[in-house]
Structure 1
């Protein structure tokens, strides 16, 4: 398994290491700022360098290149497997109501003999990540895990997109299936946030739209906790104050991030479901715990590789973590490097949601405000 990495910027074009076997890569990950991902010259250069590769990716809220965090660039990671095959599937959505069907369509398309793992990249604003994960989970064998994330758009929340086969699309989801007995995949997902304030009952919700907490308009209650300054900066300020949910229909507990607010209706729309009857608690950042959480996710990913050293680690971290950590953001990447060792190439992006198994309970679940890591090796 050989891995190479390139970086593109408008000022400098493509730069970085070149593959020893030019054109031999089967899979290329392309993570970039919306403007960079939409640059036709950048994608044309990538397609020319890897003419036989399946090129997939998405827009970001920041690009990860080794232990550096970049903005306004396009980072490409090319992978040449020795004995693993890849297959791509795509699905489009007209709205969040299509999310479950999109996941089901992708799962059925990739459910072929020898499937070892699935990685999914989704539009970050038009997809309900909970329903997408459920559609994938119910259409794939219980032995196949799914990891991935929701595309980002910085802190703007205006437009996100995915790249499938070198084509950039909005309102779409792309998934890659990996096939082969020699492939080893590890994964882990951890947060590091602290709860504060009382636990409240979700008394009215519909899917991923929250209307009432303890019988009160949810948005008004949330704004009171945030205070005048943070409330005026919604929805971007909500990235620093997610909700923790627990309940009968939730495995353990999950974290949810706000995508948008409706001041007229007093509601909040989240990246995933907020089930009625569940219990919600506001959360805030703890710098040291966020950084420790990234290292913990790396340890989980490493433990699942059966002593094989990872050649590639795909890191998907929530944009909320980036905005909270600010100048310390690269510390979470350095913590991952210390765990995985020098041989692992690190690539990834800052997202609007992360998809990963939830411990040993489910093989595919939406997470928010986590660092989710997928490690790859071939035996």
Structure 2
């Protein structure tokens, strides 16, 4: 049997109908029967509990993991609507999946890193391939989480992490994570994958700096208070036109912060690491990002570039094909920043780009993904968080 995967999706507004349709399509494609594992990504218009309950029932109550997103991605489909769900069902005698979760991570200084390490430590072995993580994107700080997780695991940074930060539809109010029957927020859904397989990964952000170099002059953890001695929100006025205070969502999706990439990843990744400004405090004039930063750090204001995004997707496919050789992937998971979808490209243009990427990697490969509030993928053996980025993982 080896590995068989099927994918289905639905845009039905009824959560029962949508969940059942997506699940049955995934099962019918390959005649899978009762799957070994199920991945689910959905937008937040649905009653999330009812949706997951329906999918669990339709898939024989197989173990399940996933999260909410700003939209979904499957073969030849890239949807950004309030009502869309995609399901991947997997049956395999060579790959093994174990799921777990932690909740209430916003109340911990390490955002659940130590607790997650305790959960997955017994599973780690020579046949471990990696972990997929689906994490609340509204409250997460990657650096303390990563440091704690790696400190508490044997081999630490040898465990490769892939995944995305759960999203909602631009409202930044509440995201959802899924583990079996449970639907929760402020948590992590984790899947450990082991067996006889590998993961090829391609990553690209497609952003360019604008204006001059700046320096952070006051910060704490993942909060930046001042740049060049000026409150951050004051400095951003130089980069926007009109009433920027009433257009924060638009501004934060068009402008982000670029930091010098560490030497350890620069050759593979490029000169800048991009960070999305996930929140702000008008009273203090500060912004929050999803990793820690110190005073004295240099940065640039950056924006997306359409041509770089197009070229970057070609580079992703080339990198994955280089790693897989002539072997066709068993399945692909794509974690795409919501700032690289409909806010940049027309609908047809966006779908053409996704379709071209899929054709270059494998036209008939089972493919599932979602539009995220942040992407996770290793660069040069270092686990990294990314923003305004595509992370494409091919299991082969």
TM-score for both structures, normalised by structure 2? 0.87
Q: Which residue of structure 2 aligns with residue 228 of structure 1?
A: 242
Question: Residue 37 of structure 1: CA displacement?
Answer: 6.0
Question: Residue 93 of structure 1: CA displacement?
Answer: 2.9
Question: Residue 229 of structure 1: CA displacement?
Answer: 4.2
Q: Is the 8 A contact 2:105 2:111 kept in 1?
A: no
Q: Is the 8 A contact 1:202 1:213 kept in 2?
A: yes
Q: Which runs of 4+ in 1 moved over 6 A?
A: 247-250
Q: Is the 8 A contact 1:235 1:260 kept in 2?
A: no
Q: 1:82 aligns with which of 82, 86, 93?
A: 93
1:290-331 Cα distance to aligned partner (Å, 9 max, x none): 122223223333333354211211111111111222433223
- Taking the TM superposition and a 5 Å limit, the aligned residue runs for 1:28-47 are 28-36=38-46, 38-40=48-50, 42-47=51-56
RMSD across aligned positions (CA): 2.2
| 2:233 is the counterpart of 1:240 | no
Q: Which residue of structure 2 aligns with residue 368 of structure 1?
A: 387
Question: Residue 341 of structure 1: CA displacement?
Answer: 1.8
| 2:228 is the counterpart of 1:214 | yes
1:2-57 Cα distance to aligned partner (Å, 9 max, x none): 111122322553433434555432221110011336150x3233112222522111
Aligned residues between the structures = 372
| 2:68 is the counterpart of 1:66 | no
Change (3 A) 1:194 1:133: same
Q: Which residue of structure 1 aligns with residue 269 of structure 2?
A: none
Q: Is the 8 A contact 1:37 1:74 kept in 2?
A: no
Q: 2:293 aligns with which of 268, 274, 280?
A: 274
Question: Residue 345 of structure 1: CA displacement?
Answer: 1.7
- Taking the TM superposition and a 5 Å limit, the aligned residue runs for 1:132-281 are 132-140=145-153, 141=155, 142-180=157-195, 182-246=196-260, 252=266, 253-281=272-300
Which structure shows the higher strand fraction? 1
Distance in 2, Cα, partners of 1:201 & 1:57:
38
Aligned partner of residue 174 in structure 1, secondary structure = strand
Distance in 1, Cα, partners of 2:279 & 2:49:
28
Change (3 A) 1:105 1:266: same
Question: Residue 247 of structure 1: CA displacement?
Answer: 6.8
Q: Which residue of structure 2 aligns with residue 320 of structure 1?
A: 339
- Taking the TM superposition and a 5 Å limit, the aligned residue runs for 1:18-37 are 18-19=27-28, 20-36=30-46
1:206-235 Cα distance to aligned partner (Å, 9 max, x none): 111110111111111013312224442103
Distance in 1, Cα, partners of 2:45 & 2:31:
30
Question: Residue 355 of structure 1: CA displacement?
Answer: 0.6
Distance in 1, Cα, partners of 2:297 & 2:265:
11
Structure 1, 157-166 or 227-236: larger mean CA deviation: 227-236
Change (3 A) 1:52 1:17: closer
Change (3 A) 1:294 1:122: same
Structure 1, 108-117 or 191-200: larger mean CA deviation: 108-117
Q: 2:366 aligns with which of 345, 349, 373?
A: 345
Question: Residue 274 of structure 1: CA displacement?
Answer: 2.9
Aligned partner of residue 137 in structure 2, secondary structure = coil
Q: 1:55 aligns with which of 53, 64, 68?
A: 64
Q: Is the 8 A contact 2:111 2:140 kept in 1?
A: no
Question: Residue 350 of structure 1: CA displacement?
Answer: 0.4
Q: Is the 8 A contact 1:242 1:257 kept in 2?
A: yes
Question: Residue 188 of structure 1: CA displacement?
Answer: 1.8
Question: Residue 98 of structure 1: CA displacement?
Answer: 2.3
Distance in 1, Cα, partners of 2:27 & 2:261:
50
Which stretches in structure 1 are left out of the alignment for 5+ residues? none
Aligned partner of residue 100 in structure 1, secondary structure = coil
Distance in 1, Cα, partners of 2:237 & 2:62:
47
| 2:122 is the counterpart of 1:120 | no
Change (3 A) 1:333 1:166: farther
Which stretches in structure 2 are left out of the alignment for 5+ residues? 267-271
Change (3 A) 1:292 1:232: same
